Structure 1
Amino acid sequence: MPNPLDRHIDALQRATRDLLAVAMRSVDEVTDLSLPQMRMLFALHDHGTVPSGALAHVLEVSGSSVTRLADRLCAGGYVRRSASAGNRSLVLLSLTDVGRGAVEAVLRRRDDEFREALAHLDPELRDQLAAGLTALHGHLSAASLSRAVVA
């Protein structure tokens, strides 16, 4: 007997592929950056100036991965490295205007694609979709946070 959640999981699997395609298209069409590089830019956009170690934690990658990504993004003018005023050995990373512009361009591209897709759904279904996705995001974010605290 099939699990009653199977059709919901199938729908989420399809939606994941669709959303990943939107994410990849938006990055490919407006930047020359990789998805991991854009992930770092989005994290800096969301969190502001942060120590590289904290950014590694947010991205769930090693410190050396953050260093390599930051090297490329600094060379491209997207990210700025600085030392903490209180601890000169602490490396801080922040977005430059170029990095902020890249994030904003990708977000605008995604907004356009989502707006076009949502226009084809009835308003009540859009409201239900937004409510369901918001609830799912809350659960997934909480689960991700609890995994990070345990680790």
Structure 2
Amino acid sequence: MSHLSPALYATLAEIVPDLHVQCVDPWCLIGSTAALLLGAQTGAADVDVLTSRADAERLMAHWAARRESAFAPADDDRFRSHFARFRFPGAPVEVMGALELHVDDRWQPVLPGKLVLAGVNGLAVPVPSVDDQIRLLASFGREKDAPRIAALRALAAPLFSVPVVSLH
């Protein structure tokens, strides 16, 4: 895919087959990589994978040699999950099993909503729809997500509009 950097492309080409094999429950990519896969004009420094807790465990076992054990995610007061970060040659991969967001003094599950499939190297990669990605990023309440939200909104905007003229 021409809009993916070679490094990100290499990482996705390596991890997506594993995700299809190792994950029993539905999974998807979220964050900047998901936005990029739908055509948003943004960059991606890592790959965020949303899974069930059980599938996160399976991936932790499968990719054990690649795990960055000393890494601690930011925003741990806002997010919690069964988390692990893995080193891949192109970009790091962060797995979030049963991700939750702290809102209104309680923990709420992060639900991806409607999933659509993006193609990478002939493989189907599930990502939230444009509208659901906007909803997710907005719910996170982080300044760093504002440019991604704008890029996703640009995708949802019509390319042109036809004026409606009334002859009455």
Q: Same fold (TM over 0.5)?
A: no
- What TM-score results when the alignment is normalised by the length of structure 2? 0.26
- What TM-score results when the alignment is normalised by the length of structure 1? 0.28
Structure with the higher fraction of residues in helix conformation: 1
Q: Which has the larger radius of gyration?
A: 1
